[in-house]
């Protein structure tokens, strides 16, 4: 069979992945460098029976995305740094209300309006802690245009499976670079929206086992329930009963952290016999892969751990190598964020070195290679 090969931007591949996953509703506000996602979906969604709406700002865009999902439609929004900041309150509402949806953030330099057309990885901690209160988060980080296609599909599946908003963190380089992408005619394993298996009279929207997600009936389908940002009981109505408060807070945490093997995905590259490990993600992991290859050709035993799920953090994989290597090197397009998570997970078992760039230019293989050699020579 002839393959369906296309030359696509990362943002275009994100759209193709969303359509393959069954997206039916998009609400958002245009912002560089994510605007192509909205532009293309404005054209493509109506052709497959979906709906697109441009809201007055990013706050409303997130609110409408939640509404679309509660109406039973697979929903998504897309933004960049300043818009991601504006979405945080409603992101927290979606976490508390357990509303499945996908939020794409094509990262650019900040803070404030920062560097609209330049790349960065400055939003990874905001993805984890941008909204207030204790909460679990799922955030995926693609490293190529092809990977963006499949990562977007996976984001929708995880959103449906765990009934929560899922983040996709591209960076500007991935969003705007063009690569050959195979877009299959069909994709297996797409999860549909779950429906209640009990009558409306028996329905308790937020009743779920301690490590599982609830099943929310679409609004207008005959099932009545309440959605709130407040702590709530099985009916969805607010409660201050300490037992019910703790049960809900634990379940919101445990439905993610009891399923880490299903959620966390990494690539382990040249890690069989290593003295050093490079830990990276997104576009930086491409430069890191080239640097690791050159370092190995020079006789340095170094491998690459590419993080494809950045939240929850891949503690298990960091710990796996902590006793085996002399040092870990963490290159990032920021002043240092994930490096501190690596240090936490290593827990003093080995040395951890940062390598950063945050001037709007892509970190190069040469820069990472020089850091590998420096760490090796001083080991």
Residue 263 to residue 241: CA distance in whole angstroms:
31
Q: Is residue 230 part of a domain?
A: no
The pLDDT assigned to 2 comes to 65
Pairing verdict, β 302-307 and 266-269: antiparallel
The pLDDT assigned to 163 comes to 98
Q: Is residue 54 part of a domain?
A: yes
Task: Identify the CA nearest to 101 among candidates 18, 42, 205, 189.
Answer: 18
- Mean pLDDT in residue range 150-157: 98
pLDDT of 1 over the 60 cut: no
Q: Is residue 298 part of a domain?
A: yes
Q: Is residue 215 part of a domain?
A: no
- Mean pLDDT in residue range 72-91: 98
CATH number at residue 351: 3.40.50.920
Per-residue pLDDT of 224-256, as tens digits, reads: 999 999 999 999 999 999 999 999 999 999 999
Per-residue pLDDT of 316-368, as tens digits, reads: 999 999 999 999 999 999 999 999 999 999 999 999 999 999 999 999 999 99
Residue 167 to residue 89: CA distance in whole angstroms:
15
Q: What does residue 127 show for φ and ψ, rounded to 5 degrees? A: -60, -35
Q: Is residue 68 part of a domain?
A: yes
Domain final position from 166, 182, 198: 182
Is the pTM higher than 0.95? The answer reads yes
Confidence of residue 3 (pLDDT cuts 50, 70, 90): confident
Among residues of the chain, what percentage have pLDDT more than 90?
98
The domain containing residue 50 runs over which residues?
A: 5-182
Domain final position from 143, 165, 182: 182
Q: Is residue 305 part of a domain?
A: yes
Domain final position from 157, 182, 207: 182
C-beta atoms surrounding 362 within 10 Å: 18
Burial code (b: 16+ CB inside 10 Å, e: under 16) for 251-269 equals bbeebbeebeeebbebeee
Q: Is residue 157 part of a domain?
A: yes
């Amino acid at each position: 069979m002839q393959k369906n090969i296309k030359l696509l931007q990362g943002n275009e591949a994100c759209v193709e992945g969303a359509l393959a996953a069954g997206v039916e509703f998009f609400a958002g506000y245009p912002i560089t460098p994510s605007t192509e996602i909205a532009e293309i979906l404005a054209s493509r969604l109506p052709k497959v029976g979906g709906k697109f709406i441009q809201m007055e700002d990013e706050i409303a865009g997130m609110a409408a995305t939640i509404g679309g999902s509660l109406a039973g439609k697979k929903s998504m929004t897309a933004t960049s740094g300043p818009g991601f900041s504006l979405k945080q309150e409603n992101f927290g509402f979606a976490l508390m209300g357990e509303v499945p949806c996908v939020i794409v953030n094509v990262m650019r330099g900040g803070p404030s309006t920062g560097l609209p057309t330049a790349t960065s990885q400055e939003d990874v901690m905001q993805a984890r802690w941008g909204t207030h209160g204790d909460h679990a988060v799922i955030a995926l980080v693609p490293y190529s245009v092809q990977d963006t296609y499949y990562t977007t599909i996976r984001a929708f599946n995880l959103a449906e499976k765990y009934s929560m908003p899922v983040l996709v963190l591209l960076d500007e380089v991935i969003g705007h670079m063009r690569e050959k992408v195979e877009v299959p005619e069909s994709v297996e394993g797409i999860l549909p929206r779950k429906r209640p298996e009990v009558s409306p009279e028996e329905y308790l929207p937020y009743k779920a086992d301690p490590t599982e997600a609830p099943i929310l009936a679409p609004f207008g389908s005959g099932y009545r329930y309440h959605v709130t940002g407040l702590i709530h009981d099985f009916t969805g109505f607010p409660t201050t009963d300490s037992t019910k408060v703790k049960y809900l807070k634990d379940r919101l945490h445990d439905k993610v952290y009891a399923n880490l093997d299903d959620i966390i995905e990494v690539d382990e590259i040249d890690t069989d016999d290593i003295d050093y490990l490079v830990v990276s993600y997104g576009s930086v992991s491409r430069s890191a892969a080239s640097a690791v290859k050159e370092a190995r050709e020079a006789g340095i035993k170094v491998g690459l751990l590419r993080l494809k799920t950045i939240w929850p953090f891949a503690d298990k994989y960091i710990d796996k190598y902590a006793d085996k290597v002399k040092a870990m090197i963490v290159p990032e397009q920021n002043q240092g964020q994930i490096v501190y998570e690596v240090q936490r997970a290593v827990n003093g078992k080995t040395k951890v070195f940062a390598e950063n760039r945050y001037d709007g230019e892509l970190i190069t293989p040469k820069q990472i290679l020089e850091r590998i050699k420096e760490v090796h020579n001083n080991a």
